[in-house]
A = this chain, B = another copy of it.
Amino acid sequence: MKGIKIGLLGCGTVGTGVAKLLLTNQAEIRARLGADLILKYVADVDHDTDRGIVFEKGVFVRDAAQVVNDPEIDIIIEMIGGQDVAKDMILQALKNGKAVVTANKALLAEQGHILFKAAIESKMDLAFEASVGGCMPVIKTVRESLAGNRISAMTGILNGTCNYILSKITDDGSSFETALSEAQAKGFAEADPTLDVEGHDAAHKLAILTALAFGTQIDFKDVYVEGISKITPLDIQFARQFGYRVKLLAISKCDGKTIEARVHPTMIPEDNLLSNVNGSLNAVTITGDAVGDMLLYGYGAGMMPTASAVLSDTIDIARNLLSDSCGRVPLAAFQADQIVQIPVAPISAITTHFYLRFAALDRPGVLSAIAGVLGDHGISIQSVHQKGRKVNGSVPIVILTHLAGEADVQKALAEIAALEAISGQPTLIRIEDKNSDVSH
């Protein structure tokens, strides 16, 4: 029986899951692969935490560099996280002729081109299914299962923390702060939740997917990012009245000439499957010219679901090593010399439906003033809702627009905010509603 030797760097939550899964399902993996995956080294500086695993003597070490430089190791699994040491280790491993599996979305989104270049030069595989959507096979689907399609759009719930919080606000009417505390207490949010709730984590994932789907390079800074920390129960309640749910969506579209890549709270119709993705779950809809819409759904994070994706990558690479076919599927889905630069449009260039909420003094003429400004900017109103309930002496006026340009809407909002009868900043939430597009 042939054996493929694995070096695992980093034994935190996901690293521990990977080690456990490799050891528990060894027989199952061997029966599928026709070879053994041998966990030769697990490197971590922390040898005190009880991980519930008994490693054989000599397996659990402290020094990642030792593992990366061991000539016997075939595949390095990088679970260190962060962008400095992790990058160095990956580059060194590739240079040493080892294949690499990683789940490091921040590193891939921000410095992926450096890793890809190194992998191509070393003719070694670099796999990263676990970087997007946990156990959902979204990278494999985009790279392989949709290889005959021209992909035009992807819409995903890619951050479980945000989805958990928004589900909580929706179900319980809690404030963002209360829902966040609860998510933290239940382990669905980090002590410092910024990366998640401000949308950056979803944006990292979107950047990775966008590059693969459209065959382009993405500068991460071009992805528009807006988090959920300003979402109020009031807006979610209004959304429900209009038949919508509020989700943090990662949206990417390509018409061949420009790309839209944006992460922001979004209203979607309640009968959209994504509306029914609750709690910490993830899902992504992919639209292709042949498949129409398809959807993947599953746990986007967590020890074992993420470990499953890491192991699937490891087995994939092991198959390549056993059949001497590294590079069989190009890293970036498209051949390296076929990657094109497609410009990412700024958020101001998008056209969509908008939900706008204003806090207005309850006096005659206010609505007509607001409508007038919107009209001046060519924004067509779909419906107006003036709800009686006073909040701090003003009433909420909600307007749903027909398709409108973001730039026009932003200009109009600035003018409306300056009206004497309007207090505070207007609220804007973008709507994705295909049915509404058609009816317009």
Contacts and interface: CB of A to CB of B under 8 A. Distances in A.
A32 B142 CA distance: 11
A312 interface: yes
Contacts of A140: 137, 140-141, 144-145
Interface centre among A148, A276, A322 (most CB of B within 10 A): A148
Interface in A277-322: 277, 288-299, 304-305, 307-309, 311-312, 314-316, 319-320, 322
Nearest to A133: B294
Nearest to A307: B290
Nearest to A292: B299
Interface centre among A17, A290, A316 (most CB of B within 10 A): A290
Contacts of A277: 273
A135 B145 CA distance: 8
B294 A295 contact: no
A315 B273 contact: no
A181 interface: no
A13 interface: no
A324 interface: yes
Contacts of A350: none
A28 B150 CA distance: 7
Interface string A207-236: 000000001000000000000000000000
Given A34-B335, A276-B271, A298 B291 contact: yes
A22 B288 CA distance: 14
A346 interface: no
Interface string A191-218: 0000000000000000000000001000
B295 A296 contact: yes
B334 A329 contact: no
A291 B135 contact: yes
Contacts of A297: 273, 294-297
Contact of A149 (B17, B25, B147, B335): B25
A38 interface: no
Given A149-B25, A273-B276, A335-B31, A304 B291 contact: yes
A22 B22 CA distance: 39
A392 interface: no
A137 B330 CA distance: 19
Given A21-B148, A146-B308, A329-B319, A292 B288 contact: no
A84 B93 CA distance: 52
A147 B312 contact: yes
A2 to B, nearest CB: 12
A343 B31 CA distance: 19
Nearest to A312: B145
A74 interface: no
Contacts of A298: 291-295
A212 to B, nearest CB: 10
Contact of A137 (B145, B215, B319): B145
A383 interface: no
A215 B34 CA distance: 13
A136 interface: yes
A241 interface: no
Contact of A288 (B29, B291, B308, B334): B308
A294 to B, nearest CB: 3
A292 B305 contact: yes
Contacts of A150: 25, 28
A290 B135 contact: yes
19 contacts: A21-B290, A22-B148, A31-B215, A31-B334, A31-B338, A135-B290, A136-B294, A137-B137, A137-B141, A137-B145, A145-B312, A147-B316, A148-B314, A273-B276, A273-B297, A290-B307, A290-B308, A294-B299, A323-B325
Name the 4 nearest CB pairs between A and B, nearest first.
Answer: A148-B311, A294-B298, A137-B145, A323-B325
Interface of A: 17, 21-22, 24-25, 28-34, 129, 135-137, 140-141, 144-150, 215, 271, 273, 276-277, 288-299, 304-305, 307-309, 311-312, 314-316, 319-320, 322-325, 327-330, 333-335, 338
